[in-house]
Chains A and B, each alone.
Chain A
Amino acid sequence: MKEYCLITFESVNFAMQAESVLKNEGIYHQVIPTPREITLSCGLSIRFNVDNVEKIKTFVDNKKINIKKIYIVKGSGVDKSIEVLK
């Protein structure tokens, strides 16, 4: 089953900042629309591999990136489950 992590942000600007941090650090990521299960607004989230979650948490602790929440998403489509990690 498909499994990945997701970061949500307080604003689009924070999402774009975080994107450039991850790009510079060479961490594979994708900018995706925030799933409807999390919020109905047209927000941007960043999707990344579960393996990188510790690295991402360090960036959050060091205030390199400014996030709202980290989620883990399992499955896709209607059989999707989303849990808050941090």
Chain B
Amino acid sequence: MKKLDCSGLACPKPVIMTKKELEAMESGELEVIVDNDAAKENVSKLIKSMGLNYEVFEKEKLFHIIIKKDKLGCECYIEQNSERPVILVGSDKFGLGDDKLGAALMKSYLYALTEAEIKPKTMLFVNGGVKLVIEGSEVLESIKTLEEMGVEIFACGTCLDFYNIKDKLSVGSITNMYTIVEKMNSASNTIKL
């Protein structure tokens, strides 16, 4: 059995290392060793989210987590995928209030999203939100990064048409309301910005 000694490591390192190891492993058992309660809890949460079975025992103040991965792993991956949120971006500003602040916060939000561990499954840009995915948008780079990382980017065609910027779309693809409804209804969690 493979061993991963994470004792002495600060969070979230044990979680990241366990995740990498489990993803690289086709099947078999992995023993993860951590030295504190928080790391034990966080690693356990990760294993549960991946749909795998595990056991924990304590020995000489260390927690030993034994994880079993069988070849059914791929099904769990789909399940994990569907838990990623769908994000509806309805404006080019983040939050209501001052527009300048809203624009700055949107830049900050999209940048932070590129660094987040859990990425959204889909991002839907509607109404004023479509201004973020066109030529000259100041957040184009963050949105392109998200797309490269596997996030589906959709812009509402009616909206691009309304603002007369259909030819300026620079990231993602054009979609219609039927797809928007489907994406939102099949998501376990939709976040509206």
Spell out A's residues near B (CB within 8 Å): 12, 15-16, 19, 30-33, 44, 47, 76-78
Is A77 within 8 A of B101, CB to CB?
no
Is A32 within 8 A of B111, CB to CB?
yes
For residue A12, which residues in chain B have a CB less than 8 angstroms away from its CB?
101, 104
Mark B8-46 against chain A: 1 for CB-CB distance below 8 A, else 0.
000011001000000000000000000000000000000
Bound-complex Cα distance A32 to B115 (A):
11
For residue A47, which residues in chain B have a CB less than 8 angstroms away from its CB?
111
Is B111 within 8 A of A31, CB to CB?
yes
Spell out B's residues near A (CB within 8 Å): 12-13, 16, 100-101, 104-105, 107-109, 111-112, 115, 141-142
Is A30 within 8 A of B111, CB to CB?
yes
Bound-complex Cα distance A86 to B152 (A):
40
Q: Looking at the assembled complex, report how far the CB atom of A27 sits from the nearest CB atom of chain B, in whole angstroms.
A: 13
Q: Looking at the assembled complex, report how far the CB atom of B16 sits from the nearest CB atom of chain A, in whole angstroms.
A: 7
Bound-complex Cα distance A77 to B112 (A):
11
Bound-complex Cα distance A76 to B117 (A):
12
Bound-complex Cα distance A13 to B104 (A):
10
Known pairs A33-B109, A44-B104, A76-B115; list 19 more (Cβ under 8 Å): A12-B104, A15-B104, A16-B101, A19-B104, A30-B107, A30-B111, A31-B104, A31-B111, A32-B107, A32-B108, A33-B108, A33-B111, A44-B105, A44-B108, A47-B111, A77-B16, A77-B115, A78-B12, A78-B16
Query: In chain A, what residue has the closest Cβ to B101?
Result: A12
The 5 closest A-B pairs by CB, nearest first: A31-B107, A32-B111, A33-B108, A33-B112, A31-B104
Q: Looking at the assembled complex, report how far the CB atom of B147 sits from the nearest CB atom of chain A, in whole angstroms.
A: 17
Q: Looking at the assembled complex, report how far the CB atom of B149 sits from the nearest CB atom of chain A, in whole angstroms.
A: 13
Bound-complex Cα distance A33 to B110 (A):
10
25 A-B pairs (CB sep. < 8 Å):
A12-B101, A15-B104, A16-B100, A16-B101, A16-B104, A19-B104, A30-B111, A30-B141, A31-B107, A31-B108, A31-B111, A32-B107, A32-B108, A32-B112, A33-B108, A33-B109, A33-B111, A44-B104, A44-B105, A44-B108, A47-B111, A76-B115, A78-B12, A78-B13, A78-B16
For residue B12, which residues in chain A have a CB less than 8 angstroms away from its CB?
78
Q: Looking at the assembled complex, report how far the CB atom of B52 sits from the nearest CB atom of chain A, in whole angstroms.
A: 23
